[in-house]
Amino acid sequence: MSAPIVTLATSQDLPNLDIDEQNLPDALRDRGLEPRIAVWNDPSVNWDEAGTVVIRSVRDYAKYRQDFLAWTASLPRVLNSANTIAWNSDKHYLNALGKYGLPTIPTMWLEPEKNLSKQQIHSRFPAFGDFVVKPAVASGGRGTGRYSAVDAQQRGEAVEHAMYELSRGRTVMVQRYLEEIDSQGETSLVYFNGMPAYQVEKEPMLHPRFRNDREDGVVEEVVRASYATEETWRWGERIRRALHSHIKDTNGKDELLLFNRVDIVRGDENSSEEFYVVEISLIDASLYLSQNDDHLNMFADAIQMRVDW
C-alpha cells in the first residue's frame, strides 16, 4: 500500500519552502506520509495526483490573487478550504469579525472606485500620532508603511503611498498605530485542528518611517516562543468562536481549520478593550516551526490526522 501523498504548495521564489518550514517534509515522512513540494502555479504539476494539498509558502498569492483563488477552488482536497482562503485573502474580513463583537483596530478604508484626490486622502489620515498605510490584499506585510500624522513630509509620503496602491486597483487601509506594539510587541496564538497549540511573542517591526516595498513581502521578525497565559488563551478562544460563527453563518456549516494564527495586541490602561485583533492568518501564515521542535511536530501531527480522514 502506497503512502498517502501530502503536497506542500509554495511559490516560485521559495521552491524549497520558506526556511522556517524546510524540516516539515522530513517530519511528514517520519509519520508514514509521502511529502511533495510544488509551486502552486507551475503548469507542469498534475494537481489531481497531489493528494492532500497544504498551503504553505505562497508568498506571491496576493500579486496573482484571482488566479490563486481559481487554483485553490480547482483542487480536489486543500487545507484550509478554498472558501476560507478566499475570505481570508482580503482584509475586509476584519469588518466581518467586528460584527461578531471582536475588537479590531479601527480602520479607514480607501476604495479605488471612489477615485479619491490627494486632498481627500490627506483628510482621511489621523490628526495626531502615528498611523499605518497598507493594501487590503497583501502577504507578509508587503506594501505596509508607518507614518507620523504631525510630520508634513511623512503625511505627503503617506499620500503618495496610498495613491500608488489605489492606482493599481487595491483597497487601502489606514489604521492608527497602536503604541502598545512598541512597548509590548504582538502576540501570535497558533491553533492546529481547532486546538490551541502555542504562543509566539513578536517584537515590533514597524519602526518610524518604516516602509516595506519588497515584492516578496518578507519582513524579518524577532520572535520568541512562550507559554500562553490563561488570559491570552481566553482572548484567543473568544476570537476562535467568532471566526467559526462567521464560517458557519456564511457557508452553512463549520470547518475544522488545519491551522489558524491569530495576531493580537494588548490594549493599554486607557483602552476600553483588553486586546485588539491585528490579523487572522489562514493562508500562508508563518507558524514559527523552527522556533521549537515541538511546533514542527505538532503541525506534522495535525497534518497526519487530516490525511488519515
In this structure, are residues 15 and 37 in contact, taking their beta carbons and an 8 Å threshold? yes
What's the whole-number mean pLDDT along residues 280-293? 92
- The confidence score (pLDDT) of residue 126 equals 92
Q: Which pLDDT band holds residue 221 (cuts at 50, 70, 90)?
A: low
In this structure, are residues 77 and 55 in contact, taking their beta carbons and an 8 Å threshold? no
Q: Which pLDDT band holds residue 292 (cuts at 50, 70, 90)?
A: confident
| Cβ-proximal residues to 113 (8 Å cutoff; 6+ apart), any chain | none
- The confidence score (pLDDT) of residue 271 equals 66
What does the alpha-carbon distance between residue 92 and residue 1 come to, in Å, rounded to a whole number? 45
- The confidence score (pLDDT) of residue 252 equals 87
Q: Which pLDDT band holds residue 270 (cuts at 50, 70, 90)?
A: low
Dump pLDDT digits (tens) for 229-268: 788 888 888 999 999 999 999 888 999 999 999 998 887 6
User: At residue 218, does pLDDT exceed 50?
Assistant: no
Among 39-48, 74-83, 213-222, the minimum mean pLDDT is found in 213-222
| Helix intervals (H) in the chain | 24-29, 65-74, 82-88, 93-99, 118-123, 152-167, 180-184, 230-251, 293-307
DSSP 46: -
Q: Which pLDDT band holds residue 26 (cuts at 50, 70, 90)?
A: very high
User: At residue 219, does pLDDT exceed 70?
Assistant: no
Residues forming beta bridges with residue 263, ordered by sequence position? 188, 279
Burial 162-181 (b: 16+ CB within 10 A, else e): bbebbeeebbbbbbbbbebb
Q: Which pLDDT band holds residue 224 (cuts at 50, 70, 90)?
A: low
Dump pLDDT digits (tens) for 109-138: 999 999 999 999 999 999 998 999 999 998
At 38 the three-state DSSP class reads strand
What does the alpha-carbon distance between residue 195 and residue 213 come to, in Å, rounded to a whole number? 35
What's the whole-number mean pLDDT along residues 69-96? 95
User: At residue 6, does pLDDT exceed 90?
Assistant: yes
Residues forming beta bridges with residue 131, ordered by sequence position? 147, 176
Q: Is the dihedral of CA 214, 85, 205, 300 positive or negative?
A: negative
DSSP 239: H
Return the closest-CA partner of residue 287 out of 236, 241, 221, 230: 221
User: At residue 35, does pLDDT exceed 60?
Assistant: yes
The mean pLDDT value of the chain amounts to 88
Whether the ω angle into residue 95 lies within 30 degrees of 0, i.e. cis, is: no
In this structure, are residues 138 and 144 in contact, taking their beta carbons and an 8 Å threshold? yes
What does the alpha-carbon distance between residue 273 and residue 209 come to, in Å, rounded to a whole number? 28
Dump pLDDT digits (tens) for 132-174: 999 999 877 778 899 999 999 999 999 999 999 999 999 999 9
Q: Which pLDDT band holds residue 10 (cuts at 50, 70, 90)?
A: very high
What's the whole-number mean pLDDT along residues 54-63? 94
| Cβ-proximal residues to 273 (8 Å cutoff; 6+ apart), any chain | 103, 267
